[in-house]
Amino acid sequence: MSLSVFIQNHHEEIIREFAVFAKTLMPPAAAMSEPELRDHAEEILTAIGHDMGTAQTVDEQTKKSQGLGTAKAMAASGRLHADNRIQHGFAVGAVLAEFRALRATVLRLYELSGASDLTEVRRFNESVDEALNASMTRFAAQSDLFRDQFIGILSHDLRNPLGAITTGAALLALPEDDPQRRARVAATITSSAQRMERLIGDLLDLTQAKLGGAIPLTRRRTHLQQVCEDVMRETRTAHRDLVLRLETSGNLVGDWDADRLSQVVSNLVGNAIQHGEGTPITLAAHGEGDGVTLAVHNSGAPIPPEVMPLIFEPLARGQAENATGSHSIGLGLFIARAIVSAHGGEIEVTSSRELGTTFKVVLPRSDSSTSRR
């Protein structure tokens, strides 16, 4: 049996075994389902089968084995695979391991079948190598682009508070003594320093999550209603003209990290304010059984369809808004998802022009999901 026919006949078995391994490579903060892992492997296998079934002269085979082929049948699949893995936070080593696993899975199962068509094996390896090369080239280019954008926006975000601090310090150095002015300047310096501190904290959390580590938690008995009320109080102070509603019901006590949950609520509410176009914002918390549900809703413009699959990734929404002059490092939703994941919970978003945008968080009450009364 030829290898191309073997791949067609054992398609499901190959994909199933590959998906099990690929799931072990997925970063903890990535929200990627098994069907998503399978889909891209199926696309690559289908492209490989098509490539292997294409007639090839000796000259074409020689050039392809040297990476000089002109057909590039696998290039598109390789690039798409790289884009998908970058979006879900995969490191370059994990992507390489995926291709290695796919190659090993196919060849091991083919060997166990008793077949040994070396010509087909050679063509299979050429196809995989072509896809791998395209994927790595794309991965490197996109990573460089992401790095440059990230540094540019980070520089922008740091420049404003740093400028306020510098200006404020110069004003405080003036010999005139106006207590009210000095108090206003001191408050501005403090606010700017706190903004920079929050940004640095977000960067540390980003680094932790991107390197494959979970966000650290300090669990204690926490009342989610109190967390929500504290965040809403702070938000109302900064946005006095905005309509903010808090709705709570049921048992909202659990073993959580209160400070981290405050970060989640603050990031979601802040996102709703940024994109809600001044519409009322509703924060709703409901406890029932072994878990609680937290939802933040606004009626602003819906999230663009092309952004929705990447909404929890850094820079995702900011990239779509660069044309309007919006600059944001876009870590809020990424950090929120990482914190929710560390608690063993889930976060999702729905968005439409008719119903508005709602971010929904579901949290177990504790590590063992034991309800506390």
107 & 120 share domain = yes
- How much is the pLDDT for 290? 92
For the ranges 1-5, 327-331, 365-369, the maximum mean pLDDT occurs at 1-5
Scan for tokens 């903010």, then name that residue: 244
287 & 340 share domain = yes
- How much is the pLDDT for 133? 84
pLDDT tens per residue, range 136-186: 888 888 777 767 766 766 676 677 688 888 888 888 888 877 888 888 888
Instruction: List CB contacts of 44: < 8 A, sequence separation 6 or more.
Output: 74, 77, 78, 81, 102, 131
For the ranges 22-26, 64-68, 276-280, 314-318, the maximum mean pLDDT occurs at 276-280
Longest CA span, the chain: 92
132 & 224 share domain = no
Of 335 and 90, which is predicted with more confidence?
Answer: 335
Taking residues 98-125, what's their average pLDDT?
83
CA–CA gap between residue 346 and residue 247 (Å, rounded): 20
- C-beta separation of 315 from 330 below 8 A: yes
CA–CA gap between residue 61 and residue 71 (Å, rounded): 11
**What sign does the dihedral 20-24-26-29 (CA atoms) show?**
positive
CATH number for position 205 = 1.10.287.130
- How much is the pLDDT for 95? 80
In angstroms, how far is CA 130 from the centroid of its own chain?
28
- Comparing CA positions, the residue from 298, 309, 294 lying closest to residue 361 is 294
CA–CA gap between residue 174 and residue 81 (Å, rounded): 59
Does residue 295 register a pLDDT over 90? yes
Taking residues 127-134, what's their average pLDDT?
84
Task: Count structural domains, the chain.
Answer: 3
176 & 265 share domain = no
CA–CA gap between residue 89 and residue 314 (Å, rounded): 10
CA–CA gap between residue 189 and residue 166 (Å, rounded): 8
30 domain residue, yes or no: yes
262 domain residue, yes or no: yes
pLDDT tens per residue, range 210-221: 655 567 888 999
291 domain residue, yes or no: yes
192 domain residue, yes or no: yes
106 domain residue, yes or no: yes
Phi-psi region of 144 (alpha: psi -120 to 50; beta: other; left: phi over 0): alpha
Phi-psi region of 353 (alpha: psi -120 to 50; beta: other; left: phi over 0): alpha
- How much is the pLDDT for 63? 64
pTM for this predicted structure: 0.59
List the domain range (segments joined by +) for residue 126: 3-146
Taking residues 237-259, what's their average pLDDT?
92
- How much is the pLDDT for 208? 64
Buried b (16+ CB within 10 A) or exposed e, 234-254: ebeeeeeebebeeebeebbbb
- C-beta separation of 38 from 21 below 8 A: no
CATH number for position 342 = 3.30.565.10
State the pairing for strand pair 346-352/356-364: antiparallel
- How much is the pLDDT for 373? 38
Per the DSSP assignment, residues forming a β-bridge with 255 are 221
CA–CA gap between residue 300 and residue 320 (Å, rounded): 16
* Strands ordered across the beta sheet of 356-364: 244-250, 281-288, 291-298, 356-364, 346-352
184 & 310 share domain = no
Scan for tokens 């609680």, then name that residue: 292
Does residue 322 register a pLDDT over 50? no
Taking residues 201-206, what's their average pLDDT?
74
136 & 152 share domain = no
203 & 258 share domain = no
- How much is the pLDDT for 283? 97
Per the DSSP assignment, residues forming a β-bridge with 346 are 362
Instruction: List CB contacts of 46: < 8 A, sequence separation 6 or more.
Output: none
> What is the average pLDDT value for the chain, to the nearest integer?
80
Does residue 72 register a pLDDT over 70? no
Compute the 3-state secondary structure of the chain and give helix, strand, coil in percent, each to the nearest 5: 60, 15, 25
The residue from 123, 146, 169 where one domain ends is 146
CA–CA gap between residue 343 and residue 339 (Å, rounded): 6
- How much is the pLDDT for 171? 84
- How much is the pLDDT for 104? 85
18 domain residue, yes or no: yes
Q: How confident is the model at residue 84 (pLDDT cuts 50, 70, 90)?
A: confident
19 & 92 share domain = yes
Q: How confident is the model at residue 20 (pLDDT cuts 50, 70, 90)?
A: confident
Does residue 198 register a pLDDT over 90? no
The residue from 90, 118, 146 where one domain ends is 146
- How much is the pLDDT for 325? 39
133 & 184 share domain = no
CA–CA gap between residue 37 and residue 193 (Å, rounded): 42
State the pairing for strand pair 281-288/291-298: antiparallel
Does residue 317 register a pLDDT over 60? no
